[in-house]
Amino acid sequence: MFEQAFKNIDDILHKDAGCSSELDYVEQTSWVLFLKYLDDLEQDKKTAAELAGRSYTDIIKPAFKWETWAVPKISVGAVREPPLLDHHKALTGDDLKEFVKLQKTKADSNNSWTIKIADVDTRTYNLSVKNPNKKDETILREPKVILEQMKALDKESAEIMKEIKGLV
């Protein structure tokens, strides 16, 4: 199933100007598959939240959702007919290049950041979300508070030991 899908992708991309082998477009194929994975992951989380009766806040902005830029749909009007791909809204070629170029003009902030591919651990490919622009806030307790808690735990332990000795 997947093998045929990848062959179809290869056939389409291989026809692009300047492509002589799969190595010429493997990076683009990987990136597109990663974006699709992110979109599917968010859809799964949204569905799980709905089934659990919780609200869900999208992490991917509408402009960046797969269904917006890659496969926008148009309703055909019939209730049972599935929506069709709207080829006029799908971003391809120059439109997609312009869209990507515009996104590169956005500055990093406390809520968005970029990482260099060289910074990704190639052993684990750990892409966990950790904002490098925001310092971790560690709330340290006062030593007096810690000592009081330790004293309370010691007292509780002594009482439990006393009860156990009374049972033996």
76 in Cβ contact with 56 (< 8 Å): no
Query: Which tens digits make up the pLDDT trace of 6-20?
Result: 777 777 766 666 666
pLDDT level of residue 31 (50, 70, 90 thresholds): confident
pLDDT level of residue 83 (50, 70, 90 thresholds): low
Domain spans, the chain:
2-91, 138-168
CATH class of 2-91: mainly alpha
25 in Cβ contact with 19 (< 8 Å): yes
Query: Which tens digits make up the pLDDT trace of 85-126?
Result: 666 676 666 766 776 676 666 667 776 777 777 777 777 766
Distance between CA atoms of 99 and 63, rounded to whole angstroms? 10
Query: Which tens digits make up the pLDDT trace of 44-59?
Result: 999 999 999 999 888 8
